[in-house]
Each structure stands twice: as C-alpha cells, then as structure tokens.
A and B are shown apart, each in its own frame.
Chain A
Amino acid sequence: MAKIAKTLDEISVRTIRTVVEEVHSEGGSAASSPRKIAASYAVLKNPWLHEGTAASLTDFAAYAAPILAQEITSRLLEHLGDANDVEAFGKAAVVGLNGEIEHGGAFIHTPFFGNIFREILGGTSIICFSESRAEPSDSLRVPLWHKTEAATRDYYQSLEIQLPDAPHADEIVVMGLASDGPRPHPRIGDRATDPTVTLDIFQGE
C-alpha cells in the first residue's frame, strides 16, 4: 500500500478549529430536540505552490487527505456522538490567494478524503460541498445533505463558518461538516408530495 501520513505534524497543519451550533429554538418555536450541526477544519500548508498547472496533485492528496478525513471526523463525532447520530454531511475547501481552487479540490474531491469521511460517518451519498479562494478571516457557507438519501429535502441545510486568520496565502483550509438531523421545522414537502411542475403552469389562469 502507498505510504500515507499518520499524524497532522507530517502534513504541516497549523491549526484545527471545530465549531458546533446547537439550535434550541427557531422561528420562535422550540426545536423538537436541540439540533446539532458541526464543522471542523484543518489549516495546512499548500504543498503545490510554484509547481504550475501541469503538475499532478494526486500523490500528496493520497498521502495527506486520509489523515485529514480521520482527524476531522473524530472531532465532529466528539460533539455529535457516534456515526449513528450523524444524519447529514458536507465538506469544503478554501484556498489561500497564492494557490488554485484545484488544489483544494485535490484534497476534498478525491476518494482519499471522501471515502474515509463517508466510511467513518456511515454514509453512502455523494458529499455536497463548497469551495473558494479567499483572504484570511473570510466566511464560507457550506451545504449539507442526508448521508444515505441525498434527495431527502428535509435535510437540505447549511452552516456559515467564520475563518479567523486563515487561510494565509500559502495555506489551504480543509473542512468536514455533519449534523444530527434535519432542519428545525421542515415543512416544504418532498419529491413524493410535490405536484407536477413544468412550464405548462404558465398556460393556466
């Protein structure tokens, strides 16, 4: 098997931040149970600076992404419980100004991250995502959806994450998110209950 990093020191991680939002009340009504949604992100050195757009990104992604997925999910589960408590998930990358968004994609859009993240959290869906390139101290809103039934509308949700002092120009933020349930008061139906909606609706009264 290929050599992979086993600690965050080996891939020059500067900080890890974990944010958990616990919603007790929304729209003036109590949530049925406090709804938890969590994000955890690592800030690490961009390994591909000055290599140009022809360079392959696979080797370092294969080396570094599995430990990122493992460390991020372990922090999410510290706050949410075990994999059975996780119902929705998402992921994100924010690249510092000296890098390419493609560098962030190398970490989050490959099986070296996604498969480990899914396996630990007990999911099967494609993981929805957000990505950007930004100055430090920007914010990012990241979508989540159901971990096994991605089209379940009640679980479409998102979390805004502030990134103080990150990513520096030569860094990348790699983030995973999970929640323990749907939105606090979901009531916008689902595919099973939707009427047929086509352009023909403009032909009516």
Chain B
Amino acid sequence: MKLRKITTIVDEVLMEGGKGVDPVARTAVVAAIIENPWKDQGFVDDLGPGIDDIAPQLGELLAPRVMEALGTPLEAYGKAAIVGLNGEIEHGSGLIHTLKFGNYFRDAADASTLLPAVEKRGPAGIVFDIPLKHFTDATIRSHHQSFEVRIPDAPHADEILVALAGASQGRPQQRLADLSTEQ
C-alpha cells in the first residue's frame, strides 16, 4: 500500500440550537490517502487480489486511529471511499465493502451492524458527507447523522481516499420519536 497522508478530524459540539450539549458530542474521522492499487491497469475484471492485499491494511491502519481520536465509547459509525478521477468508483467500493476492511472497525468498536457508506469519484478537495448509524442497531433513529469532510489536495487522479468515522452519541439535541412509535 502506497500511503501519501493520513488526515484526522475531531469535532466537539458544545452547543446546538442555542443550548448546551452535555456530554459534549464528539465525532472523529480518520482518512488515508493511498495510491489506487489498480492504477494504469485498464479495466481489471477481478478486483479480488487487490482487495485481499489492501483492504486489511487499511482496516488495520484506520480502525485503532479512529477509536483513539474519538477518545470515548463509540455509539455510531460510518465509512467512505472517494476515488480520484482516473479510477472507478468500483475500486473504492472494493476496498471498503468487504469484511476484510470493516471487521477491523467492528471489532475495535464492539459493533455488529453494517457500516453505512459514501462512495464517489471526484477531484482533489471534493466535499463528501459520511453517513453514520448506530453501532449495534441501525434502526435507532436518534443516531442517524452525517459528517461533512473535505480534505484539500486529495484524492489526486490516481489516488483513493478511504475514511472511517465514529461518533460518541446520536445527534446533539436529538428529539425525534422512535421508529417503533410509527409502526
């Protein structure tokens, strides 16, 4: 894996809607910017070998870092793959939509649900929003949230940006009726 840089973002929300948030709502994102492993290879039919090689390395790199950056028990999580302009979205999807990537995060967070994801292709500095859902029950409405990220200068055309996101709680000031009340 050819790694160019790792960007970590930690967000702390102390107030929302004019009222204090207690405890402070924390969200952490860690993104790795790597060279696209299928760079200059044309259309590759079988992405399996590249996935088997790279996805576990990314999971092993990012999962402990996002837990450390969050610094509190995790309650919601998500992931992202942003492919540079010379690649296919399928390349990014290949790296994140595999248990060989996601299980590192699930194990580190004691989580059980599927990780919601954003996948897109774009120029360096593109804005993307990572969806997050509850870490053991994806139907828990209070934890549906998303986190805006823009990493200047990434991904370059031959790169892929892969990120994990974790949150300490649901939305600050969440107060919507639970899904069960509408059934």
* Chain A 22-35 interface 0/1 with B at a Cβ cutoff of 8 Å (1 = within): 11111000000010
Chain B stretch 134-149: residues in CB contact (< 8 A) with chain A: 148-149
Q: Looking at the complex, which one of B3, B7, B11, B13 makes contact with A21 (CB distance below 8 Å)?
A: B7
List chain B residues, Cβ under 8 A from A165: 148
How far does the Cβ of B129 sit from chain A's closest Cβ, in whole Å? 9
A160 in the interface (beta carbon within 8 A): yes
A13 touches B14 (CB 8 A): yes
* Chain A stretch 90-149: residues in CB contact (< 8 A) with chain B: 137, 139
Of the candidates A15, A18, A22, A26, the one whose C-beta lies within 8 Å of that of B14 is A15
Interface SS, B side:
strand
Q: What A residues does B40 contact at CB under 8 A? A: none
Given contacts A15-B14, A24-B3, contact A79 B8 (CB under 8 A): yes
Contact yes or no, B15 A14, CB < 8 A: yes
The answer to whether A15 and B11 touch across the interface, beta carbons within 8 angstroms, is yes
Answer whether residue A8 sits at the interface, using C-beta atoms and an 8 A cutoff: yes
Are A22 and B8 interface neighbours, CB within 8 A?
Answer: yes
Can you list, as one digit per residue, whether each of B164-178 has a CB less than 8 Å from chain A (1) or not (0)?
A: 000000000000000
Complex Cα distance A34/B41, Å?
29
Q: Measured between alpha carbons, how far is A139 from B150 in the docked complex, in Å?
A: 10
Q: Mark B1-36, 1 if CB is under 8 A from A, else 0.
A: 011111111111111100010000000000000000
Q: What is the CB-to-nearest-CB distance from B126 to chain A, in angstroms, rounded to a whole number?
A: 11
* A9, B6: Cβ atoms closer than 8 Å: no
| Contact across chains for B9 and A24 when beta carbons are under 8 A apart | no
Q: Which residue of A lies closest to B24 (CB)?
A: A16
Interface size band for B? 20 to 34
B48, CB-defined interface residue at 8 Å: no
> Is A81 close to B, CB under 8 A?
no
Determine if B152 is an interface residue (Cβ-Cβ < 8 Å).
Answer: yes
Q: CB of B153 within 8 A of chain A? A: yes
How distant is B111 from chain A, measured CB to nearest CB, in Å?
A: 24
Q: Pick the contact of B4: A17, A18, A23 (CB < 8 A).
A: A23
> B9, B16, B148: which has the most chain A beta carbons within 10 Å?
B9
Establish whether residues B12 and A15, one from each chain, have CB atoms under 8 Å apart when the complex forms.
Answer: yes
A9 to B3 CA separation, bound complex (whole angstroms): 39
Given B6, B11, B16, B127, which contacts A17 in the complex, CB threshold below 8 Å?
B11
Is A19 among interface residues, defined by CB-CB distance under 8 A? yes
Contact with B along A160-183 (1 / 0, CB 8 A): 101011000000000000000000
Interface pair A22/B150, CB less than 8 Å apart: no
Question: Are B15 and A22 in contact, with the CB atoms below 8 A?
Answer: no
Look across to chain B and name the residue whose beta carbon is closest to the beta carbon of A34.
Answer: B6
Least CB distance from A162 to B in Å reads 4
Query: A22, B148: Cβ atoms under 8 Å?
Result: no
B15 to chain A: which residues have CB within 8 Å? Answer: 12-15
Q: Assess whether B7 is in contact with A14, with CB atoms less than 8 Å apart.
A: no
Q: Other than the known A13-B15, A15-B15, what 16 A-B pairs have Cβ atoms closer than 8 Å?
A: A14-B14, A14-B16, A15-B11, A15-B12, A16-B11, A16-B14, A17-B9, A17-B11, A18-B10, A18-B11, A19-B8, A19-B9, A22-B6, A25-B2, A162-B150, A165-B148
19 contacts between A and B (CB under 8 A): A9-B20, A13-B15, A14-B14, A14-B16, A15-B11, A15-B12, A15-B13, A15-B14, A17-B9, A17-B12, A18-B10, A19-B9, A22-B7, A23-B5, A24-B4, A25-B3, A25-B4, A25-B5, A162-B150
**Residues in chain B within 8 A of chain A (CB atoms):** 2-16, 20, 127, 148-153
